[in-house]
Amino acid sequence: MTPEMAVRRLKELDREIQLLDHANALLMWDEETYMPERSIEERSEQVALLQSIIHDRLTSPEVGDLLTAAGASDANPRGEASLPQESQAFLRALQRRHRREAKLPAELVSELVRAATIGQALWRQARAKSDFALFAPQLRKLVELTIRKAQCIGFVGHPYDALIDEFEPWTTTAEVRSIFAGLENRLGGLVARIGAAERIDDGFLSADFPVDKQAAFSKLLLEGMGYDPKRGRLDESAHPFTTTLGRDDVRITARYNSRYVKTGIFSVIHEAGHALYELGFSEAIRGSLLATGTSLGIHESQSRLWENIIGRSEPFWRHYLPLLAELFPSQLKGVSLERFYRAVNRVEPSLIRIEADEVTYSLHIILRFDLETRLVSGQLDVEDLPEAWNRRTQELFGILPDSDAAGVLQDIHWSMGSFGYFPTYALGNLYGAQFAAAMREAIPNLDGAIARGDLRVILDWLRREIHVHGASLTAAELCKRVTGQGLSPDFFIAYLEQKYAPMYGL
C-alpha cells in the first residue's frame, strides 16, 4: 500500500470518527440545555458508549497499520515527505491522537465519561445549593480517574504534563508555571496601581435589564460579528459554552443576569469568537480532524480578542451603545459613551471568573492552575479544596468567597474531568493580544472601521490569517507565522498599560 492510499483510507476512517464526535457533542449540548433532569443516568450510558466506540476506532490496529504505511511514527509524525503538506499535517494530528488514545484502557475511558456525566449533574445541584459536600465524593472519583489517566499516558516532569498536553499540545507544566509566575507579578503590580486610583462608577449597569431584551441585543451583536444563524443557534445554559455539532452547525449558549447586563453581552461576544473560529476552516480540511482549533489557547485567543480587545473598546461602543440604548432607554438615560466605556472596563478584584475584568482575569486562571496541579500530584486532598481555594483567593485578590457557589463550585470544568484545561484561558489572553497587534499593523484605521460597525474587516483578517489553518499548524507555528515571533506576555501587558493607564490616570 502506498502512503497516498494509506492517507486516503485514514481520512475515510477519520470522517466516521468526526461524525461520532459530533453525535456525542449533540448529546452533551442537550444535557446542558434541554435535557430532563431524571434522564441523566441513561444519558451517561449513551455518552460512555459513544466515547467507547470512538476510542475503539481511534486505537484500532487498522489505524496503526495505516499510519505506519503512510510513514508516520513518533519520530516522524508527519509521514512521508513526498505527501502534500495538508496530508502531513493530518498525519501529525492523527498520529498524536492515536498514540494518546492507545495508551488508555477502554474501561478507563468509559469510566471517566460516566463519572463526568454524573459529575456535571451533581455539580449543578451542589452549585445551586452552594454545598461543596454534595459534589466532593464525585470530584474525588474524577481526580482519582484523572491521575490514572495521566499515569497511563505517561509524563516526564509532572503528572499534569499528560493532562495539559490534551488541550495545549506540546506544552509542559514547567513552561506554564514559568509564564504564570512572571504574569502574576506584572498583573499584581498593575492591579495594585489601579486599586490606588479613583474607582470607576458602574452602578447603572446593575439596573433592571430584562433578559428578553438582552437576548434581542445579542442577536444584533452576532449579526454584526458575522455569525450565521443558518449555521448555528444561541441558547441559554448555566455556564456559557460553544460546541461543534457539524461542519455547518456550531452552537453557542449564553448566561444572562437581569441585574448585571455585562454578563450576557460579553458572554455572547466571547462564545461567538469561538464559533466564528470553528466556522472559518478552509474547505480542504472541513469535516476532518484538522477542522478544530490548533490548541485551546489559540481557540481562547479568538474569543478573548473579540470579547475584550474589540468588544470592550471605545470604537465598538461608539457604534453599539445607541443600539443598546434603544432597547433600554430608561436604564441608559443620560449615560455618555465615555461613562459607558469606562464602566464596562472597570477593574476590580472579584470572585467570579467569567465576570472578571480583563486585568484580573488571568489571576483567576493562575489560582485554578495552582490548585489542580496540586490535586493531581497528590499534594492537595479534595476535602481541603474549599479552604485552599479561599486562601489563594485572599492572596491574589484580597477578598474571600462568601459561599461555595461563589468560590470552589463556580466552574464546570472539574465536574467534566477537564483537568489541564484552565491554563489555556490565560494563554489565550497572551495569544490574543499578540495577534491583535499584528492585525492593527495590517489594517489601516482599524478603529474607524469598528466605530462604523464594520466588523467584517476583522473577521476577514482572522479568517485569512488564523481560522483557515485549523489544526494544520501548531500553536507555536501559527504564532510565528502571524506575528513573526514566539509567544510573549509583553504584548498583553503593553496592551493593558496602554488602555488602563490613561483611563485610571496612572
Q: How does pLDDT run across 55-106, given as a tens digit for each residue?
A: 999 999 999 999 999 999 999 999 999 999 999 999 999 999 999 989 999 8
pLDDT band at 137 (very low <50, low <70, confident <90, very high): very high
pLDDT higher than threshold 90 for residue 110: no
pLDDT band at 109 (very low <50, low <70, confident <90, very high): confident
pLDDT higher than threshold 90 for residue 54: yes
Contacts of 462 (CB under 8 A, 6+ apart): 276, 277, 280, 302, 305, 435, 439
pLDDT higher than threshold 90 for residue 463: yes
Q: What is the pLDDT of residue 24?
A: 94
Average pLDDT, the chain: 95
Long-range Cβ pairs for the range 59-67 (8 Å, 24+): 59/98, 59/101, 59/102, 62/13, 63/10, 63/13, 63/94, 63/98, 64/98, 64/102, 66/1, 66/6, 66/9, 66/10, 66/13, 67/6, 67/10, 67/91, 67/94, 67/95, 67/98
Which of 29, 453, 428, 433 lies closest to 236, judged by CA?
Answer: 29
Contacts of 74 (CB under 8 A, 6+ apart): 95, 99
State the average pLDDT over residues 111-125: 92
State the average pLDDT over residues 276-284: 96
Contact 141, 115 (CB under 8 A): yes
d(CA 272, CA 220): 12
d(CA 23, CA 10): 20
pLDDT band at 131 (very low <50, low <70, confident <90, very high): very high
State the average pLDDT over residues 212-230: 97
Question: DSSP E strands: which ranges in 430-475?
Answer: none
Q: What is the pLDDT of residue 456?
A: 96
For a pLDDT cut of 90, what percent of the chain falls above it? 91
pLDDT band at 479 (very low <50, low <70, confident <90, very high): very high
Q: What is the pLDDT of residue 218?
A: 97
pLDDT band at 239 (very low <50, low <70, confident <90, very high): confident
Q: What is the pLDDT of residue 26?
A: 95
Q: What is the pLDDT of residue 48?
A: 86
State the average pLDDT over residues 214-232: 97
pLDDT band at 41 (very low <50, low <70, confident <90, very high): confident
Q: What is the pLDDT of residue 117?
A: 87
State the average pLDDT over residues 320-334: 97
Q: What is the pLDDT of residue 354?
A: 81
Instruction: Using DSSP, state whether 304 is helix, strand or coil.
Output: helix
Q: What is the pLDDT of residue 2?
A: 95
State the average pLDDT over residues 381-407: 95
Q: Enumerate the active-site residues.
A: 271
List of domains in the chain: 3-156 (no CATH), 173-504 (1.10.1370.30)
State the average pLDDT over residues 291-301: 96
Contact 98, 63 (CB under 8 A): yes
pLDDT higher than threshold 90 for residue 242: yes
Q: What is the pLDDT of residue 457?
A: 97
Task: Work out the angle at residue 427's Cα, subtended by the Cα atoms of residues 94 and 360, and round it to the nearest 5 degrees.
Answer: 150
State the cell numbers at 48.
Answer: 460512555
